Amino acid sequence: MAEQTPNRRPEPLQAVKGMNDILPPESARWEALEATVRDVMRRWGYQGVRTPIVEPTALFVRGLGEVTDIVEKEMYSFADKLNGDALTLRPEGTAGVVRAVTEHSLLHDGGKRLFYIGPMFRHERPQKGRYRQFHQVGVETLGWAGPDVDAEVILLSRALWKALGLVEGRDVRLELNSLGQPEERAAHRAALIAHFEAHADVLDGEATRRLHSNPLRLLDSKHPAMQPVIEAAPKLSDYLGAASLAHLQAVRDVLDAAGLPYRLNPRLVRGMDYYNLTVFEWVTDRLGAQGTVCGGGRYDGLIAQLGGKPAPAVGWGLGIERLLLLLQEVDVPAPANAPEVYAIVLSSQAMPQVMPVLAALREAGVSVLMHAGGGSMKSQFKRADASGARHALIFGDDELARGEVACKDLRDAQAPQRSLALAAVADWAHSLRTA
């Protein structure tokens, strides 16, 4: 008879590298941030949209550009096992929103102001605040070509900073540029190629490879030997026509009137090929070298590029992980995550009396955590104190026999314990709410 192999516990599985669990109490920060985002969007008239995490690979190749880091190096792409379709986990949100707007003809009755919150995926080296699964808030305003809408989305982001407790100018600051129109960029592109060809001896391998396919990206290079050449490169602003300059000035006029300071940055180009005219970034000095917190701009050609009826659009995206790091770095207080009331229940036989009282409290808006698992009054009080609750409700046999519950203030040792009538829970529920 063969020897029996003893049962062994399987090796525990772990999350994929760069894809993180978000657990309490950290999850409370996420929920508070998302609630703030939704409140700001509601007040500005923006409506939520949810698009699939998996999209056709062609959507991002056509939308972002074949010669971009995202498409060339970072996308999670695979073939559908059932039909061989080329699919990709979305690396950003704009292309998917544009696809949805086009597919469902959302612009048939006029422009739309949309926002989204959700996970994105890029295969890059995980580092603090940058992960392979990361989360974005995005705003897309579609159907309006005027500079007033460019200014609106910038001022909307400013309103979000204020609502989150960030100080504009100290914690975050705005940088602004114009990429002009395609024909202006084409003239600038030709000048860039000629300039860098004249200094081919200092270009690194990546710059040499991209010189003719995407020379604008060379301006983002951090290679030390290239910096003097980059500084001397032709500036796009010198190739902008009157209409593009007027569009930028109109955006600036609104920002100036709103008292929003900014810096014109002629080297600001953004990482996607679809941008035109206004581009902007909110940056910080508090997160090290990777200083961009939020970025966006106008992308009037993308809808037609993805097969839709031509329509103008402008938007921005921000990384939630990096924003949360910034909030912690500048000591914005974490949201309260403690219940207002901890219910101490000394007998399981009391549950038929206790549960309706707790339900009534919760319906009145009081957050209640009920002790589970039994235990002595001392051990339950220890748990109650550790929960952070302000009040403990003690459902003891004597109190219940009198139709009452004892209430003790856990944060003020001098406050007297009081008795509350179970039948009048609606009358005293509000007294348990914390400010």
Q: Give the pLDDT confidence of 279-294 residue by residue, as tens digits.
A: 999 999 998 777 899 9
* Max Cα-Cα span within the chain: 93
Q: How confident is the model at residue 379 (pLDDT cuts 50, 70, 90)?
A: very high
One CATH from 3.30.930.10, 3.40.50.970, 3.40.50.1980, 3.40.50.2300 for 26-180+240-329: 3.30.930.10
**Mean pLDDT across 256-283:** 90
Q: Is 399 left (phi over 0), alpha (psi -120 to 50) or beta?
A: alpha
User: Which of 323, 278, 36 lies closest to 153, judged by CA?
Assistant: 278
pLDDT of 2 higher than 60:
no
Work out the pLDDT band at 435, boundaries 50, 70, 90. Answer: very low
With H, G, I as helix, E, B as strand and everything else as coil, classify residue 78. strand
Q: How many CB atoms lie within 10 A of CB 162?
A: 12
Burial readout 373-407 (b: 16 or more C-beta within 10 A, e: otherwise): eeeeeeebbebbeebbbbbbbbbbeebbeeebbbb
Q: Is the pLDDT of residue 339 over 80?
A: yes
What is the secondary structure of 164-175 as a DSSP string? HTPPBTTTBEEE
**Of the candidates 154, 216, 150, 209, the residue with the CA atom closest to the CA atom of residue 182:** 216
Note the pLDDT of residue 6. 66
Q: Contact 100/119 with Cβ under 8 angstroms? A: no
How many whole angstroms separate alpha carbon 305 and alpha carbon 274?
A: 9
Percent of the chain clearing pLDDT 90 (strictly above): 78
396 has a pLDDT exceeding 90: yes
Predicted local distance difference test score (pLDDT) of residue 214: 80
297-334 pLDDT, tens per residue? 999 999 999 999 999 999 999 999 999 999 999 999 88
Q: Give residue-wise pLDDT tens across range 234-262.
A: 988 899 999 999 999 999 999 999 999 99
Under the banding of pLDDT at 50, 70 and 90, the label for residue 51 is very high
**Crossing angle of helices 57-64/94-103, nearest 10°?**
110
Average pLDDT over residues 266-282: 86
Q: Half-sphere exposure (CA, 13 Å, Cβ side) for 58?
A: 6
CA–chain centroid gap for 402, Å, is 52
Look at residue 1 and tell me whether its pLDDT is greater than 60.
no
- Residue in 92, 75, 69 with CA at minimum distance from that of residue 221: 69
In angstroms, rounded to a whole number, what is the distance separating the alpha carbons of residues 299 and 278? 9
Give 192-231 pLDDT, tens digit per residue.
999 999 998 989 988 888 888 888 778 878 889 899 999 9
Distance of alpha carbon 268 from its chain centroid, rounded? 22
User: β-pairing, 276-283 with 292-298?
Assistant: antiparallel
Nearest to 147 by CA among 261, 281, 253, 43: 253
Residues of the chain within CATH 3.30.930.10 domain(s) are 26-180+240-329
Provide the pLDDT for residue 63.
85
- Which amino acid is located at 253 in the chain? D
What stretch of H or E contains 329?
helix 320-329
What tokens were used for 256? 């100036």
Question: What's the per-residue H, E or C state across 98-130?
Answer: HHHHHHCCHHHHCCEEEEEEEEEECCCCCECCE
Residue ranges matching CATH 3.40.50.800 in the chain: 341-432
Q: Considering the entire predicted model, what is its pTM? A: 0.89
pLDDT over threshold 80, residue 271: no
Q: What values do phi and psi take at 138, rounded to 5?
A: -135, 150
320-329 vs 26-44: helix crossing angle, rounded to 10: 110
DSSP string, 62-77: HHH-SSSHIIIII-EE
Pick from 198, 278, 282: which is nearest to 232 by CA? 198
Q: Give pLDDT, residue 65.
A: 78
| 52-61 confidence digits (pLDDT tens) | 999 999 999 9
Contact status, residue 180 vs residue 244, Cβ threshold 8 Å = yes
C-alpha 167/C-alpha 21 separation (Å) is 29
DSSP run (H or E) holding 245: helix 242-257
Q: Say how far residue 263 (Cα) sits from the centre of its chain.
A: 24
CATH class of 341-432: alpha beta
